[in-house]
Structures are given as structure tokens and as C-alpha cells.
Amino acid sequence: MAQTTATASAQAWRSAAWLTFLGTAGSLGLSLGFNYLLLFSDAFTPFGRSMMTAVLLPVVIGLPLFVLIGWQQIQIRACRQELNRSGTYDRLTGCLNGPVFTSMVERRATRPSAPGPRSGAFLVIHSEHLRSINLRFGLEWGDEALRLIASTIQSSVRADDLVGRIGTSMFGVFLSGATEAEAKEIGERIRTRVAQVYFAPKGTEDALTIKVGGVMFEKEMEFADMFQFAEQGVSDTQDDARFELKHLNS
């Protein structure tokens, strides 16, 4: 591995050296040729020739060079933004990826809220029948089902809420500072809207269904504890039933 890296680095340096040599040689040749033509031209005075050299050469040589540098800076910036995004968001659904979501939830769940105690709700959402969709219609339609569910969840929560993909067919929603009534409303809204999504793989209309479990908390909680209690709520939820929030008192 180290030898491969060293070989690639050596090749990159050789390419840079050749580019530097050819660029310098080309600029030098252009400058000499331009000055040679001006030297034997009777159309310009010595002052005019010097001004032509002083103005045109930097434009002819510098303009393409700085355009190239500027374009490379734009590409580098775009690559950095893409790397930051790929390290933060799940590529398939556009939700926060698992590690980032977990970290952000733990930071928000343990910081003092002002005023009042640390409080909020955590929801776990399971996509039902995803395996069946994959088997019947193919993996691409399973991915499409996840994208539809994710976009529905994101459009159903508040602006400051966090939505993350925490498993193959599982999503988490963190509702910082939400009351029990608000959490229940958001959970039911997500469940109802997902059921109303039009999904017709290969022209065959199929229903998207989810199960939602959640936990209310009024004290500092670790992510693992919130997930455990919310997951229990998913297991207790029956098909087509309103989900119930577990409530942990401070």
C-alpha cells in the first residue's frame, strides 16, 4: 500500500515537473518570438515596442494561466463541498447519515435548553415490506420506496428537527423541545402521509407502510437509551394503529 502511494506521488511530481518545464519553455518561446517580430518592425517606435511587450505579453501569457487556476479552484471547492456532503448525508435518501445523526442528537439532547429542562421526543420509523418490494420488483424500486418515505418524513417535520437514516430501512427523527402533543401530531402526520404516497413500481400500484415508535424525555439521555425505548414502541405498535409515545419522567 505504501509502495503504491509512493509510486503515485512520484508520478504526480513528474507530471508537475513536465508541465512546469513545458509551460516555462512555451512562455519563453512566445516572448522571444514576439520581441523578435517587434524588433524588425518599422511600424512602432522603441517606446511603442516596449509598451507592446509590457502589455501584450502579460495578457497573452497570464490570462489563460489565471483562467486555468481559477477554474481549478472552482473544481476543488466543488469537490470539497461534495466530500463534506457525502460525509454528512446519506447518498440514497438525503437524510443525515447514521454517525452524524447520532452525534447531533447526543449534542442536542445533553445541552441545557433555555428556559426549562432538557426535553423533547425521539421517533424511530421502520419501513414495512421493503424486502417484499425488493423481491417482487427489484432493488431499484426498493431504493425508490426509501427515497419517497425519506422525503415524506422530511416534509412532515419542523424546520429544526433532525432526520437521519439509522438502518437499512429505518429512520430516526429527533424533535428537540417538542411537547407530547406535538410529537404525537408529527408522528401521526408522517404515518398518514407515507400511506398516501403514490407508489407504482412497474405500473403496479403498491402501498407504502411504516411503523412509528417514540419516546418522550425530560432529562439528559444518551442516544442508545432513546433508541432502545423508541424501538420498543415500534415493536408494540400494531399494523394500522396509532403509535403511542413512551414517557420517561425526569
Domain boundaries, the chain: 2-88, 98-248
The predicted pLDDT at position 8 comes to 58
Q: Out of 18-27, 129-138, 239-248, pick the least confident.
A: 239-248
Q: Into which CATH architecture does domain 98-248 fall?
A: 2-Layer Sandwich (3.30)
**Phi and psi torsions of 199, nearest 5°:** -135, 115
Cell, residue 226: 432513546
Q: Name the nearest CA neighbour of 171 among 86, 93, 245.
A: 93
Q: Are 183 and 140 in contact (CB under 8 A)?
A: no
The residues, any chain, with a CB within 8 Å of residue 134's CB and separated by 6 or more, are: 141, 142
Task: Compute the half-sphere exposure of residue 35: CA atoms within 13 Å on the CB side of its CA.
Answer: 10
Chain centroid, CA 14 distance in Å: 35
Residue 146 has pLDDT above 50, yes or no: yes
Q: What is the pTM of this model?
A: 0.66
User: What tens digit of pLDDT does each residue of 38-78 get?
Assistant: 666 666 666 666 666 666 667 666 777 777 777 777 766 76
The residues, any chain, with a CB within 8 Å of residue 164's CB and separated by 6 or more, are: 90, 95, 96, 97, 98, 100, 101, 102, 104, 105, 171, 172, 173, 174
